[in-house]
Amino acid sequence: MTLPDVFLTTPIAHRALHDKSQGRPENSRAAVRAAVESGYGIEIDLQPSSDGVPMVFHDYDLGRLTASKGPIALQTAATLAATPLLYGSEGIPTLAEVFEIIGGRVPLLIEIKDQDGAMGPNVGALEKATVAVLRGYEGPVAVMSFNPHTVRIMGELAPDIPRGLTTSAYEYDDWVPLPEDMCDQLRAIPDYETSGASFISHESFDLHRKRVAELKAKGAAVLCWTIRSPEEEAEARRVAQNVTFEGYLA
């Protein structure tokens, strides 16, 4: 499924339009509302609750973003909804709640976080739960993941939803404890064709990698992450067709 043009023409706010100084933590309802009001696209992350609800949250552990600690996957959706995000006044939102806020007004890019632990095939439950929530949503939406198995599964479950690979330079120190041989494998983006992806979202400083150019020449849409200044944006747009940004207004 081809990525709609709106994902190439509307800058995408990384984890929504977050700004701690304004009471809008990342992946929060407030950040989503601000992005919609500003007309930006939105990128969010999904992690599962213990009862299988797709929650909009980046980390595997609650410690960096809330006053609680421990894996998010061990807490129920109700508990997480009542767990305030730091620098904000609201709890962790569900994917369904984010859909309600956006209401199809801006494009939504969903990153499904790896649940295998090593980018392997032991995934599927979060993907199925995500598709169940996606059904009936009429706004522009696309999904992506670092894990190629997730992208393949999404193609099987929801072939009508555009899907892509989140890709990286996979520098070893940045990906501990992912094994180095897996970093080497994924760095070459070998799964683009077999996963049925129609786009990549690539680490911005690595956009000049030969494989990125090859995929773009073959028709892949190229997005990138994460841009933090107008200067970085100008450089990234020499290769990428759109940016995922934070810390300034793209």
Residue 124: pLDDT band (50, 70, 90) is very high
Cα 208–chain centre separation: 22
Output the pLDDT for position 108: 98
Q: What percent of the chain has pLDDT over 90?
A: 99
Q: How far apart are CA 215 and CA 199, in angstroms?
A: 9
H or E, element range at 37:
helix 29-38
Closest listed residue to residue 128, CA positions, set 54, 222, 208, 206: 54
Output the pLDDT for position 133: 98
Residue 114: pLDDT band (50, 70, 90) is very high
Structure confidence by residue, pLDDT tens digits, 62-101: 999 999 999 999 999 999 999 999 999 999 999 999 999 9
Task: Tell me the domain boundaries of the chain.
Answer: 6-245
Q: Find the length of the chain.
A: 250
Statement: the pTM of the whole predicted model exceeds 0.85? yes
Q: How far apart are CA 80 and CA 78, in angstroms?
A: 5
DSSP 3-state assignment of 85?
strand
Output the pLDDT for position 203: 98
Mean pLDDT for the stretch of residues 230-245: 98
Q: How far apart are CA 207 and CA 213, in angstroms?
A: 8
How many CB atoms are located within 10 Å of the residue 138 CB? 8
Output the pLDDT for position 233: 98
CATH topology of domain 6-245: TIM Barrel (3.20.20)
CB 123 within 8 A of CB 28: no
Structure confidence by residue, pLDDT tens digits, 8-67: 999 999 999 999 999 999 999 999 999 999 999 999 999 999 999 999 999 999 999 999
Mean pLDDT for the stretch of residues 198-222: 98
Residue 164: pLDDT band (50, 70, 90) is very high
Mean pLDDT for the stretch of residues 123-149: 97
How many CB atoms are located within 10 Å of the residue 231 CB? 10
Structure confidence by residue, pLDDT tens digits, 180-205: 999 999 999 999 999 999 999 999 99
Mean pLDDT over each residue of the chain, to the nearest integer: 98
CB 76 within 8 A of CB 50: yes
